[in-house]
């Protein structure tokens, strides 16, 4: 628990939690929402195509969306870490936060697996899609959905 107290006492934890103007937390929350829109939006485009929708759309050009996905994740890692640090003793041990982080990690692992499975190599984006690819795409969509839901619930459910 001492590391959580230390996180809260860092300059960024204190700044976000105790900023004299009320702009700090809402600003980082907005940045987090933008990052989430980027990563989930682009992931959804790829996943929906991998699930067989828009079959006339070429798959290979979607490879260019992965840098945006990783950029969206970097934004969320930065903004989410700062927001969590502001109230680390309450947020980090929260079962909903732990669940959210588990879901995000699962979605990221699947996102990377799809990036390697479908978009790597000389036939990038031109290989036939198998059942496992469909399963991974659907699972990634579900993981992002439930990560967003649990993330939003953290503000409303207190386990203290």
pLDDT band at 128 (very low <50, low <70, confident <90, very high): confident
Closest CA to 120 of 66, 55, 69, 40: 66
Q: How many domains does the chain have?
A: 1
pLDDT at 31 over 70: yes
Query: Average pLDDT, whole number, for the chain?
Result: 90
DSSP category for residue 65: G
Percent of the chain clearing pLDDT 90 (strictly above): 61
The pLDDT assigned to 146 comes to 98
Residue 160 lies in a domain: no
Q: Which residue has the tokens 């107290």?
A: 5
Average pLDDT over residues 140-154: 96
CA–CA distance, 58 with 62 (Å, rounded to integer): 8
CA–CA distance, 152 with 19 (Å, rounded to integer): 22
Q: How many CB atoms lie within 10 A of CB 160?
A: 6
pLDDT at 1 over 70: no
Name which of 94-103, 124-133, 150-159 the model is least confident about: 124-133
**pTM summary value:** 0.90
Cβ distance 47 to 74 under 8 Å? no
The pLDDT assigned to 42 comes to 97
Residue 118 lies in a domain: yes
Percent of the chain clearing pLDDT 70 (strictly above): 96
Q: How many CB atoms lie within 10 A of CB 21?
A: 7
Average pLDDT over residues 144-149: 97
Q: How many CB atoms lie within 10 A of CB 96?
A: 19
CA–CA distance, 98 with 157 (Å, rounded to integer): 13
Q: What is the pLDDT of residues 133-144, one digit of tens each?
A: 999 999 999 999
Domain that holds residue 72: 2-153
Average pLDDT over residues 87-116: 95
């Amino acid at each position: 628990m001492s590391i959580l107290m230390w996180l809260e006492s860092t300059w960024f934890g204190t700044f976000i939690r105790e900023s004299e103007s009320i702009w700090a937390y809402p600003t980082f929350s907005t940045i987090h929402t933008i990052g989430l829109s980027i990563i989930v939006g682009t992931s959804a485009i790829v996943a929906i195509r991998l699930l067989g929708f828009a079959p006339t759309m070429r798959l290979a050009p979607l490879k260019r969306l992965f840098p945006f996905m990783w950029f969206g994740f970097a934004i969320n890692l930065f903004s989410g870490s700062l927001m969590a640090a502001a109230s680390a003793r309450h947020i980090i041990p929260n079962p909903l936060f732990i669940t959210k982080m588990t879901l995000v990690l699962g979605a990221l692992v699947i996102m990377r697996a799809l990036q390697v499975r479908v978009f790597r190599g000389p036939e990038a984006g031109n290989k036939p899609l198998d059942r496992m690819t469909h399963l991974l795409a659907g699972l990634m969509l579900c993981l992002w959905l439930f990560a967003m839901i649990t993330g939003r619930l953290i503000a409303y459910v207190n386990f203290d």
